[in-house]
Structure 1
Amino acid sequence: MKKLLANRTNHSHVIEGGRGRGVNVWDGFSHRYPEKSGSDLLNGDTTCESYTRWKKDVEIMGELNATGYRFSLAWSRIIPKGKVSRGVNQGGLDYYHQLIDALLEKNITPFVTLFHWDLPQTLQDEYEGFLDRQIIQDFKDYADLCFKEFGGKVKHWITINQLFTVPTRGYALGTDAPGRCSPMIDERCYGGNSSTEPYIVAHNQLLAHAAVVDLYRTNYKDQQGKIGPVMITRWFLPYDESDPACVEAAERMNQFFHGWHMEPLTKGRYPDIMRQIVGSRLPNFTEEEAALVAGSYDFLGLNYYVTQYAQPQPNPYPSETHTAMMDAGVKLTYNNSRGEYLGPLFAEDKIAGNSYYYPKGIYYVMDFFKTNYSNPLIYITENGISSPGTENRCEAIADSKRIDYLCSHLCFLRKVIKERGVNVRGYFAWALGDNYEFCKGFTVRFGLSYVNWDDLDDRNLKESGKWYQRFINGTVKNPAEQDFLRSSLSSQSQKKRLAC
């Protein structure tokens, strides 16, 4: 397992800053709705400035002995006006060439994401982005340019990050860019229909993804690389395991959460339960489109953070307050019918309520994908936890909570590989360093390395980074007997040494 490990950072918008690129939808969103971008009302204009400090980031990866680095290309940095026909920014291409070359010099494998939500704003303004089928050709042209430029060096391509996220958060709730939703969901949304648009956007994402995969397989097979999408995953447990309705709700939620995209990717059609409930609001694939979408991946990237309890809840469609996420007819909580929480605190939220994490959920998710989707090649492309941005430097660097989170999840990941034979080829921790976080601004820290916001050259491994470094290096004499649950902070003497 240790040879499969890698480390990752966040995508371009939250680490690079705005210098040297065109405006994207998250720029527009965070400036238009600063209160939605984090309670600190800040944005990603500057963040940790990896655009100018990428050499330092590569040094930290070298210190970690990371074997891989997942990052995304900023579409608006390469094509500022969205369409290739309007001109390409050579400075943007040069930046990514330098980064990729530096990684390869350190034997770090680049995993490159083409689209991580930062659509050029001009395409949103012209035709509402993924709400219109025009996006398919523009995304294909952008990908074609990237394959030509970087395909000789990049052998692992990700088309779209978290297919579930933009349709739901960007077009149903309006909490993410571009910020569309029905008026009664959030009056600040500049337009939208939360009952219909998420399904259209998801459909166009699948078609755009499949078109790019087909392009890569047809025109760039000589590059001998692999390509696939990233799914956000979550496990769902019955709120009351003795109640058949709760068991059914958990199963139904799996289909709406995972099957929404995986059924088209494997069978060329949406799940039967979705077609029954959503009806005419759910688009259809033509025979040609279904053939293009089905099997359009060489691997799957799976992101996992939390698990939730599921119980039945009436679907209010049609109503002015309906969103696509209500169609499953499920209420999700972090506590069950006995009032028990899933596990340790994941994130404190005084408004929406606290969330909790469940390490064994990663076991169930991996087994679910193996069993239901023909044992695909899998990379864990995100797994991590935040810490409060209010912590002082000493507290932030001690970082025991992140060690416990990563350690416990890696334990269950190893367990499912050994017991169930899941084909997991690599693991990327989220994230390499602290940065601007979507919808949270700088109020949280996700990094294995500490970034000093008053001096961006001050970037150093936290204790979690040092623990991860030891984990990658396999410092124990017998890795087969390594106790993955034992954190390096377990002894009282260690805790005393790190006391602030």
Structure 2
Amino acid sequence: MFGDRVKFWVTMNQPNLLAKFAYMNGWFPPGHCSKPYGNCAFGNSSIEPYIVGHNMILSHANAASIYRNNYQETQGGYIGIAVAARWYEPLRNTTVDQLAVERAISFNVPWFLDPIILGDYPAEMRKILGPTLPEFTLKQKKKLHATKLDFIGLNHYSTWYLKDCIFSSCEMDPMDGDARVLSLVERDGVPIGKETGAPFFYDVPHGMEKVVMYYRKRYNNTATYITENGYAQASNSSMTAKDFTGDADRINYISGYLTYLASAIRKGADVRGYFVWSLLDDFEWTSGYKDRFGLYHVDFKTQKRTPKLSAEWFREFLKGSLLTRELQNGSQLQPYYTS
């Protein structure tokens, strides 16, 4: 119906989070989980997330195959998938924490992109999960190979420190599941970055360059879009639009991440676009209306939209007036507004 107007198609958004949140932690419908990740009425956190993930990968392949065989030639569009792309730093400069980072990465983006692009799950996942991790048939592998991505979508917000939980004593993180790690936002009492309004999301702009450059190397510089990146303001029922429109912290967050994205592009990353999350304050799943990511404030009672300072700043950026010599030389984008 919309093929003549839509040129970029995403089969799924953040399937790696859906599999965990719905079938490992029980935070999303249908609310399946089991101990130690939760105490749901139904579910098996050791098995279900990987069956669900496997089926979503095959569903992506089917959708991509239908598009390529029936529509792509006449409509001239492109098809890809968008994944949540967390970045990690070792808590300590030790071999075990460095290996913890490698494991956590494998259980994040490569869980879904390795089968689609490289033909099978990461070796780290196979080693830990063994027969619990489903196998692809030869026919399925051929289909995945034939429907390779036109582009990768990375949704990136923050970076975490990681502590090993295989050789060290610690409680495994429900966010990273069977990677057997603990994610932290502080090292020796010092936060990894400036806190945002969303719990455990910190302003760590250099993570943008690192995550892009890592997947550039892993996936042979497949065309990439930053399909989500943004800053959350916390809210409560007593706050009004005036409390949100002077959002200098959002401007500084976006400008910082764009600066490091520009650095990745200069180093050869084939990044073709960037999308702020989000245009409007919206419903943020389990956070409801509490976390406000929008460039425009929304009064959820009246539906009135009010532009924040970040909307003005981003408009000037898109017009090119903020693409200064400093940015081209690798310096920080100059904020349009500072507090």
Calculate the TM-score normalised by the size of structure 2.
Answer: 0.91
Hey, what does 2:289 align to over in structure 1?
442
> What is the CA–CA distance in structure 2 between the aligned matches of 1:323 and 1:414, rounded to whole Å?
33
Cα distance per residue 1:50-99 (max 9 Å; x no partner):
xxxxxxxxxxxxxxxxxxxxxxxxxxxxxxxxxxxxxxxxxxxxxxxxxx
> Amino acid of the residue matched to residue 334 of structure 2?
R
Which among 276, 280, 301 is matched to residue 433 of structure 1? Answer: 280
Aligned to 1:396: 244
CA distance in 1, matches of 2:67, 2:116: 16
Report the structure number with the largest CA radius of gyration: 1
Q: Which residue of 2 aligns with 1:375?
A: 221
Pairs aligned (count): 329
54, 62, 66: which is aligned to 1:211?
A: 62
- Residues 217/348 of structure 1: CA separation in 2 closer, same or farther (3 Å cut): closer
1:301 aligned to which of 141, 150, 153: 153
2:14 corresponds, among 137, 162, 168, to 162
Offset at 1:347? 3.5
**Could you say what secondary structure the match of 1:302 adopts?**
strand
Match of 2:44 among 186, 193, 216: 193
SS of corresponding position for 1:426: strand
| Greater alpha carbon shift after TM alignment, 354-363 vs 162-171 | 354-363
* Alignment root-mean-square deviation, CA: 2.1
Question: Could you tell me how far 1:404 is from its partner in structure 2?
Answer: 1.1
What is residue 96 of structure 2 aligned with on the other side? 245
Equivalent-residue separation in structure 2 for 1:222 and 1:254 (angstroms) = 38
TM-score of the two chains, using structure 1 as the length reference: 0.63
Aligned CA distance change for structure 1 residues 285 and 411 (closer, same or farther; 3 Å): same
Match for 2:253: what amino acid? Y
Q: Does structure 1 conserve the Cα–Cα contact (< 8 Å) formed by 2:193 and 2:202? A: yes
Equivalent position of 1:75 in the other structure? none
Quote how far apart the aligned CAs of 1:322 are: 10
Please state whether the residue corresponding to 2:162 is helix, strand or coil. strand
Distance 1:323 1:235 in 2: 16
- In 2, Cα distance between the equivalents of 1:421 and 1:273? 28
8 Å CA contact retained: 1:448, 1:461: yes
Maintained 8 Å contact 1:195/1:324: no
CA shift, 1:296, in A, is: 2.4
**Match for 1:414: what amino acid?**
A
Overall identity of the aligned pairs, in %: 34
Residues in 2 aligned to 1:190 and 1:372: alpha-carbon distance in whole angstroms = 39
Counterpart in the other structure of 2:298:
451
Do the aligned partners of residues 184 and 303 (structure 1) sit closer, same or farther apart at CA in structure 2, a change above 3 Å counting? closer
In 2, are the aligned partners of 1:195 and 1:323 still within 8 Å (CA)? no
TM-superposed CA distance for 1:432, in Å, is 0.5
Distance 1:382 1:194, change over 3 A: same
In structure 1, which of residues 326, 333, 339 is the aligned counterpart of residue 189 of structure 2? 339
1:199–1:322 Cα change, 3 Å: farther
Distance (Å, rounded) in 2 between the aligned partners of 1:403 and 1:357: 11
Name the residue aligned to 1:481: 326
Given the superposition, is the C-alpha separation of residues 183 and 309 from structure 1 closer, same or farther in structure 2, using an over 3 Å criterion? closer
Q: Distance in 1 between matches of 2:290 and 2:117?
A: 39
Tell me: CA distance 1:449–1:323, structure 2 relative to 1, closer, same or farther (3 Å): closer
CA distance in 1, matches of 2:63, 2:259: 35
Q: What is the Cα deviation at residue 484 of structure 1?
A: 4.3
TM-aligned CA deviation for residue 267 of structure 1: 1.6
1:164 match: secondary structure? helix
* Aligned match of 2:211: 365
Q: Which has the higher contact order (CA 8 A, sep 6+)?
A: 1
- 2:261 is aligned to 413
- Structure with the larger helix share: 1
Q: How does 1:4-403 map to 2 (within 5 A)?
A: 149-182=1-34, 185-187=37-39, 189-220=40-71, 221-241=73-93, 243-294=94-145, 296-314=148-166, 325-336=176-187, 338-347=188-197, 349=199, 354-390=200-236, 391-403=239-251
Cα separation, 1, equivalents of 2:273 and 2:201: 27
Letter in structure 2 aligned against 1:385: Y
- Residue 182 of structure 1 aligns to a residue in which SS? coil
Deviations 1:412-439 (A, max 9, x none): 0111111x21001010000010111111
Superposed displacement of residue 323, structure 1 = 6.9
* Unmatched segments (≥5 aa) in structure 1: 1-148, 316-320, 496-500
- Cα offset, 1:309, TM superposition: 0.9
